[in-house]
């Protein structure tokens, strides 16, 4: 990946369909998410589609699915297949894996294989969709392995559009995505790089506090148009957290075009913009030392 040829790095891009036409979640959840985000574009681009989309925008994309069979009862997409397909587009795609924490020792072994055999550069977790409390010590062997592998872990935090508006939210519990649960993980695994995904409403202040207190914690700005960012998040991004916040869109429900158009109107200092759009992600992903690769 030639970083000099890139204007930005989007750290939050979902793969919702595989090459066999299978979806990451069932149709009811896909439809509820699309309605929540008022998304009228293609909801299920393939890995190759995503690569073409981002290449045209001189932007790299961190791509992943969420492996959540225990929480949803739905067969997941293959992180192995996503990583192998992303390897065909190394100029713009950075694959993250996903494992179901409930799988225990099998999840740990699979995480190792994803990194060692498939070139995965990090892991995505969605505590609400995967139905787990991140600070439960039963999952600590998994974090220990990811810390040892030297790759980041990205956790969904705050509200989710998945299940929104359905009876009981389809049983999806928001409390699992309270960032304070992840603060325990950040404290107990100080060399594990952690990304708190999204403005963490209704826990935005907690997320800012965690990222300020823990050197190993970043915040990505995905899932919201910048014009709706909480004011305290904008203030923190311009000051204390200027090297800790990351551009993320939440494609395909929110496109990088829309996100960047609204970000351009946000009151962000000129010297902070390139940090958010690219340079902080380079550091978080460990790309600075391999910029010519």
* pLDDT above 90 for 120: yes
Q: How far apart are CA 28 and CA 166, in angstroms?
A: 9
- 293 lies in some domain: no
Q: How far apart are CA 52 and CA 279, in angstroms?
A: 22
Residues of the domain holding 237: 3-286
Please give the model's pTM, rounded to 2 decimal places. Answer: 0.93
pLDDT in tens, 165-182: 889 988 899 999 999 999
Domain CATH number, residue 21: 3.20.20.140
The overall longest dimension of the chain from CA atoms, in Å, is 50
- 291 lies in some domain: no
pLDDT in tens, 217-263: 999 999 999 999 999 999 999 999 999 999 999 999 899 999 999 99
pLDDT at residue 26, as a whole number? 65
What are the C-alpha distances in Å from 268 to residues 58, 102, 212, 235, 277? Answer: 22, 40, 18, 9, 11
The chain-wide mean pLDDT, for the chain, equals: 92
What are the C-alpha distances in Å from 94 to residues 11, 107, 126? Answer: 9, 21, 19
Contact (CB, 8 A) for 229 and 203: no
Least confident range from 26-40, 99-113, 120-134, 192-206: namely 26-40
- 148 lies in some domain: yes
- 206 lies in some domain: yes
- 166 lies in some domain: yes
Q: What average pLDDT does the segment 211-215 reach?
A: 98
Can you spell out the DSSP letters for 80-140?
Answer: HHHHHHHTT-TTTEEE-B---GGGTHHHHHHHHHHHHHH----EEE-HHHHT--TT-GGGH
- 131 lies in some domain: yes
| Number of domains within the chain | 1
How much helix, strand and coil, in percent to the nearest 5, is found in the chain?
A: 45, 15, 40
CA dihedral 71, 203, 137, 163 (to 10 degrees): 0
Strands 194-197 and 153-156: parallel
- 292 lies in some domain: no
């Amino acid at each position: 990946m030639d970083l000099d040829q890139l204007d930005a790095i989007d750290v939050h891009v979902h793969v919702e369909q595989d090459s066999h036409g299978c979806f990451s979640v069932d149709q009811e959840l896909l439809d509820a998410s699309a309605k929540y985000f008022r998304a009228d574009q293609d909801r299920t681009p393939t890995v190759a589609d995503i690569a073409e989309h981002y290449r045209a925008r001189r932007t790299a994309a961190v791509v992943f699915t969420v492996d959540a069979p225990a929480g949803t009862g739905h067969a997941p997409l293959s992180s192995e297949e996503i990583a192998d397909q992303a390897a065909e587009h190394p100029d713009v795609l950075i694959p993250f894996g996903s494992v179901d924490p409930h799988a225990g020792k099998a999840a740990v072994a699979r995480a190792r294989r994803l990194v060692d055999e498939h070139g995965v550069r990090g892991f995505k977790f969605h505590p609400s969709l995967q139905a787990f409390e991140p600070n439960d010590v039963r999952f600590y062997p998994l974090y220990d392995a990811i810390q040892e592998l030297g790759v980041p872990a990205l956790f969904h935090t705050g509200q989710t559009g998945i299940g929104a508006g359905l009876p009981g939210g389809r049983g999806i519990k928001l409390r699992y995505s309270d960032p304070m649960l992840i603060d325990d993980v950040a404290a107990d695994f100080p060399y594990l790089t952690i990304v708190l995904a999204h403005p963490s409403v209704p826990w935005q202040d907690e997320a800012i506090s965690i990222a300020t207190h823990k050197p190993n914690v970043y915040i990505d700005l995905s899932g919201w148009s910048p014009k709706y960012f909480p004011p305290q998040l904008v203030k923190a991004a311009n000051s204390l957290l200027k090297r800790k916040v990351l551009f993320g869109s939440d494609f395909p429900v929110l496109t990088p075009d829309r996100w960047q158009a609204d970000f351009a109107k946000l009151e962000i200092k000129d010297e902070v913009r390139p940090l958010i759009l690219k340079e902080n992600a380079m550091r978080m992903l460990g790309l600075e030392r391999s910029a010519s690769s």
